[in-house]
Structure 1
Amino acid sequence: MTTILKVEHLEKVFGGLTAVADVSMQLKNDELVALIGPNGAGKTTLFNLLTGVIPPTAGMIYFREKEKLVSINNKKTYQIADLGFARTFQNIRLFKNMTVLDNVLVAMTNQYKEGFIKSVLRFPSFYRTEDEILKKARDLLAIFDLDKDMYKLASNLPYGVQRRLEIVRGLAMKPKILFLDEPAAGMNPEETADLTRLIRQIQQQFHITVLLIEHDMSLVMNLAQRIYVLDQGKLLAKGTPSEIQHDKSVIKAYLGEEG
């Protein structure tokens, strides 16, 4: 598989605190990779670095554009999103007072190519594009069983359905990489099982790269093809789920020394 994202010696320092230290990693096309580690390990900070929310103190981030890896270190968040990055957050960030359909339509604005003049003057091509995008949004909601709720306010949905909508909204951006930050947080076992099926469906049907932060180890071990482990901002281990399960340094970081 081709490498789509490459990170070399990434570092982030806040004042005197090093949150991410000398992290190198790679993501390949159409694979699901998990990022795990104890609380405070630097996982969300790493996500924020990769998606342009914060700039790195040192190190390089490369993304594959037109058959070659190019640096995205100095790009703005919206520019990185335009390249094909989409993400969710630990705390659900839906537009709570908008409908389910409108939440998805907002994410699809990057697919309007009519330009300012045509949009203001409402040329026929503008309406054709609008109809096409509306159909795509409804079709996407139907795939993930959200079409029956499309006219409900996002705030009125159950927690697990809100989480599903947030992921589908990210998918509506037609990303090349989908970053999921603790999607199972606050879910009961039934909701977590539904989430596992949802992520697997996205992987199989849309063939995009997924990077997942998660504390639910059963979900991680069921889904991930490879796993990176962070501890105190440093890369502690990497490998397949089986390799990580038997890695002594990982066991020590999670469970402490054996008595």
Structure 2
Amino acid sequence: MSLLEVKKLTKNFGGLAAVSMVSMELGDNELVGLIGPNGAGKTTLFNLLTGVYEPTEGSIDLAINDKQESLVGKKTYTITDMGLGRTFQNIRLFKDLTVLDNVLIAMHAKNKVGTVAALFRTPAFYASEQTLKAEAIKLLKIFNLDTKVSELAKNLPYGEQRRLEIVRALATKPKILFLDEPAAGMNPQETADLTALIRQIQKDFKITILLIEHDMSLVMNVCERIYVLEYGRMIAHGTPKEIKNNKAVIKAYLGGD
């Protein structure tokens, strides 16, 4: 059974099919790439998988306790709680909050302390808060951000803001992490550091990662399998070597004839 199974997924905006009849599967602990030219429908597909958009047709099923459960029609926060975390092409941090608070906000969705305990600030509430804070700092330390816990997110360098967004997504304890162009705007050294970081995330957290990225060296270096979109349709799927030599991909994405 696949962890995530997508069949014939379609999204129409008026007369335009931004995503058309897309099928794909993700297994446990995989690192999979999703590539394609600008306007190919990659971010639209992410938005469909994470509940930002509802598909015009098709199915999205997530394996939970050995059963497939449909994600279609569910709210974004429900899908996050079910185990799908994501970052965005344009960084979406709470820029006027501290680094620590950005992570704690994500963690509170998993906080099971009751409403009464929260309202009356019971010992159970404070114990839970301390536990979450310790977990957040531990997570930030993995990404070398534990010394920045009191800094406002907006004051971090660009590369650190990118890392913080990944930390915040991981704080929701996802089964699948969707990374939408995490290397966008990074210099070569930052990209190299990110490549190592993505490998570390998969190894340490044992989760599945689906990566949208235009930096082909990053995709080819870290991904086990790659899907290729063009004009909203899936035109290829295979290993990095297979994709690199695929004539349709070369023509659509790499500029070949």
Q: Same fold (TM over 0.5)?
A: yes
User: What is the percentage of aligned positions where both structures have the same residue?
Assistant: 63
* 1:57-206 alignment runs, 5 A limit: 57-206=56-205
In structure 2, how many angstroms separate the alpha carbons of the residues matched to 1:79 and 1:257?
42
Count of matched residue positions in the alignment of Structure 1 and Structure 2: 257
In structure 2, how many angstroms separate the alpha carbons of the residues matched to 1:171 and 1:232?
31
Contiguous gaps of at least 5 residues in structure 1: none
In structure 2, how many angstroms separate the alpha carbons of the residues matched to 1:69 and 1:89?
26
In structure 2, how many angstroms separate the alpha carbons of the residues matched to 1:255 and 1:192?
20
In structure 1, how many angstroms separate the alpha carbons of the residues matched to 2:98 and 2:255?
46
Scaled by the length of structure 2, what TM-score is found? Answer: 0.98
* 1:29-40 alignment runs, 5 A limit: 29-40=28-39
Map of 1:248 onto structure 2: 247
In structure 1, how many angstroms separate the alpha carbons of the residues matched to 2:69 and 2:155?
42
Map of 1:237 onto structure 2: 236
2:200 aligned partner, one-letter code: Q
2:107 aligned partner, one-letter code: M
Residue 9 (1) aligns with residue 8 (2):
yes
In the TM superposition, what whole-angstrom CA distance separates every residue of 1:39-95 from its partner, at most 9, and x where no partner exists?
Answer: 000000000000000000000000011111111112111110110111111111111
In structure 1, how many angstroms separate the alpha carbons of the residues matched to 2:230 and 2:169?
28
1:9 aligned partner, one-letter code: K
1:124 aligned partner, one-letter code: P
In the TM superposition, what whole-angstrom CA distance separates every residue of 1:223-246 from its partner, at most 9, and x where no partner exists?
Answer: 001000000000000001011001
Distance 1:234 1:132, change over 3 A: same
Map of 2:207 onto structure 1: 208
In structure 2, how many angstroms separate the alpha carbons of the residues matched to 1:202 and 1:255?
28
Distance 1:199 1:257, change over 3 A: closer
**How far does residue 122 in structure 1 lie from its aligned partner after superposition?**
1.9
In structure 2, how many angstroms separate the alpha carbons of the residues matched to 1:248 and 1:178?
30
In structure 2, how many angstroms separate the alpha carbons of the residues matched to 1:256 and 1:208?
33
**How far does residue 257 in structure 1 lie from its aligned partner after superposition?**
5.0
In structure 1, how many angstroms separate the alpha carbons of the residues matched to 2:130 and 2:243?
48
Contiguous gaps of at least 5 residues in structure 2: none
Scaled by the length of structure 1, what TM-score is found? Answer: 0.97
In structure 1, how many angstroms separate the alpha carbons of the residues matched to 2:164 and 2:115?
29
1:72 aligned partner, one-letter code: L
